[in-house]
Amino acid sequence: MRRIRPRRSPATLLLIAVWAGAAGVLWLWWANTPSIADTTSGIVNAGRITGLLAGYLMALVVLQMARVPALERRVGSDRVARWHAMTGRYTLSLVLAHVFLIMWGYALQAGKGLGDIVRQTVDSVTQLPDMGKAAIGTGLLLLIGLVSIGGIRRRLPYDTWYHVHLMTYAAVFLTFWHQISTGNDFAVEPAAKTFWYGLYGTVTALVIWFRILTPIRLNMKHRMRVEAVIEETPGIVSVLIRGRKLHRMGAEAGQFFRWRFLAPGMRFSSHPYSLSAAPRPEMLRITVKAIGDHSSRLRELVPGTRVWAEGPYGALTASRRSRGKVLLVAGGVGITPMRALFETLPGASGDLTLLYRANSTQDLALWDELAAIADERGARLMYAVNSPGGARPDISAESLCRKIPDIERHDVFLCGPPGFAQSVYEALRGAGVPARRIHHESFEM
């Protein structure tokens, strides 16, 4: 079989562009700083640097929330989400450093000491233009950072965290204006001000287009409604969604949408669920395990319920493939995108293998469908479940090599809970599969 060449990820080029932008920000500071004469000047300039970098990263934080298809589909939703989380941490750290350093420097310039920072901050907020809005925006950033801490986030309902997280837009809007009105670099360099307006204006346009206008257009065009809800196994249901010309949405096997069901108690909740079957012209299907309030209520949906969707998102598609032979590995409800890929990935008899990990045979959702696909395509279907005594199955480098002797010549698509995915990834690497041929997306972010 002819070798399939995957699309190249633009991640490296994007990171180079990001670093180039940061270098440009530093150059702006350097060009407008003729000298640093004393300690006070050094502290003020440190505040300027951290402020400029924080402002630059805020634009990137919002860009990473904009659901730009080029990022979501080619880089991968999970990688973009990780970039967003990392950029958010750096941004908050720089904002706090900026506030402390610039207020300390202003206090020293006014002949005050380190202990007068609070008083200097109050004076600046009440007297300088747009500083009151910046203070509110900074408070929102602190709140968002607090609820994003791992231990706190895990204790919050997903919808609570999600809606608090959306306040990032308000925080960035409120903190933007003081950068222009009080930033020395923008006052003395009109080109820099023009660039800053262009940067934030472009990001704002992308958010409006892809987060607001594109979903409105998609849902008005396709008019989706719940067709039926089918129980697959205890705790797992499939939702059939009917609409008009759904094949024109551009969805591929392996991708997901953010779904909002316009039913009582669910209208304000939007959750990501993968397609569990290849998209059809008039029908889409998702298969969901009840692990929270939203997913547990899907079984209560009645036919005819309006559906609002955003997407498709995700890069776990056939375009990642680079070899003729493919191993699909699914853990639990991670079977949903794998089932769609198992059905649609091109391949001759013997090219495809699916390994399905579940706690018991009763938890093997969609098993009859998988078996029918395997028979029709000449593919190999395996499962790994706990023993009657509860012992976990062996999914190690050695066991994988025994079951699939030429595993190092496979592409591997992997989906499942984070702990499972990490252990399988390590086993695959130990079995000789190169990292570039292990394709995985996590939707935990």
Q: Note the pLDDT of residue 418.
A: 85
- 296 shares its domain with 374: no
The tens digit of pLDDT for each residue in 99-134 reads 999 999 999 988 887 778 888 999 999 999 999 999
Model confidence over 236-255: pLDDT tens digits?
Answer: 999 999 999 998 898 999 99
- Give Cβ neighbours of residue 285 (< 8 Å, ≥ 6 apart): 238, 239, 240, 241, 275, 276, 277
Q: In this model, does residue 445 exceed pLDDT 50?
A: no
What is the CATH number for 304?
2.40.30.10
Q: Could you tell me if residue 152 is inside a domain? A: yes
Per-residue model confidence as pLDDT tens digits over 349-369: 999 999 999 999 989 999 999
In which band, very low, low, confident or very high, does the pLDDT at 392 lie, cut at 50, 70 and 90? very high
Please state whether 412 falls in left (phi above 0), alpha (psi between -120 and 50) or beta: beta
Which pLDDT score is estimated for 444?
52
Q: Is residue 1 in a domain?
A: no
241 shares a domain with 199 = no
281 lies in some domain: yes
* pLDDT reported for residue 7: 44
Q: CA 320 from chain center: how many Å? A: 18
CA distances from 278 to 143, 225, 274, 282, 284 (A): 41, 18, 11, 11, 8
* Domain final residue, candidates 196, 218, 240: 218
Q: What type of residue is 45?
A: N
Query: Which pLDDT belongs to residue 12?
Result: 82
Amino acid at 249: M
Asked if the structure places residue 2 within a domain, the reply is no
In a domain, 445, yes or no: no
**29-82 per-position pLDDT tens digit:** 998 887 787 899 999 999 999 999 999 999 999 999 999 988 887 787 878 888
Closest listed residue to residue 224, CA positions, set 305, 318, 121, 343: 305
Q: What pLDDT, in 10s, does the model give residues 394-439?
A: 999 999 999 999 999 999 999 998 889 999 999 999 999 999 899 9
Is 85 domain-assigned? Answer: yes
Q: How far is 109 from 125, CA to CA, in rounded Å?
A: 17
Domain termination residue (choose one: 290, 313, 336): 313
Q: What is the DSSP string of 352-366?
A: EEEEEE-SSGGG-TT
- Is there a single domain that holds both residue 249 and residue 141? no
pLDDT at residue 276, as a whole number: 95
What was the pLDDT predicted at 6? 42
Number of domains into which the chain is organized: 3
User: Are residues 305 and 259 located together in one domain of the fold?
Assistant: yes
Q: State whether 280 and 157 are in the same domain.
A: no
- If asked whether residues 99 and 148 sit together in one domain, one would say yes
Examine residue 4 and state whether it is found in any structural domain, yes or no.
no
For residue 367, which of 338, 401, 410 has the smallest C-alpha distance? 338
Q: 397: domain range? A: 318-440
Average pLDDT, the chain: 90
pLDDT band at 3 (very low <50, low <70, confident <90, very high): very low
**Based on the domain organization, do 303 and 329 belong to the same domain?**
no
Query: Which one has a higher pLDDT value, 2 or 161?
Result: 161
pLDDT at residue 4, rounded to an integer: 38
| Residue range 11-27: mean pLDDT, rounded | 90
Average pLDDT over residues 189-218: 94
Tell me: do 189 and 137 sit in the same domain.
yes
CA 383 to chain centre: 29
Q: Do both 45 and 145 map to the same domain? A: yes
- Which band of pLDDT confidence, cut at 50, 70 and 90, is reported for residue 5? very low
pTM here is 0.83
Question: 208: which DSSP letter?
Answer: I
Give per-residue pLDDT as tens, 138-153: 999 999 999 988 888 8
**Is 167 found in the same domain as 113?**
yes
Confidence tier at 294 by pLDDT (50, 70, 90): confident
How many of the other CB atoms lie within 10 Å of CB of 24?
13
If pLDDT is split at 50, 70 and 90, which confidence band does 9 have? low
User: What confidence tens digit (pLDDT) does each residue in 270-290 have?
Assistant: 899 999 999 999 999 999 998
Reply yes or no on whether the pLDDT at 443 is more than 70.
no
Same domain assignment for residues 425 and 380: yes
Domain boundary among 189, 218, 247: 218
Up-side HSE of residue 309: CA atoms within 13 Å toward CB?
A: 29
Asked, for residue 207, whether it belongs to a domain, the answer is: yes
Whether 424 and 307 map to the same domain: the answer is no
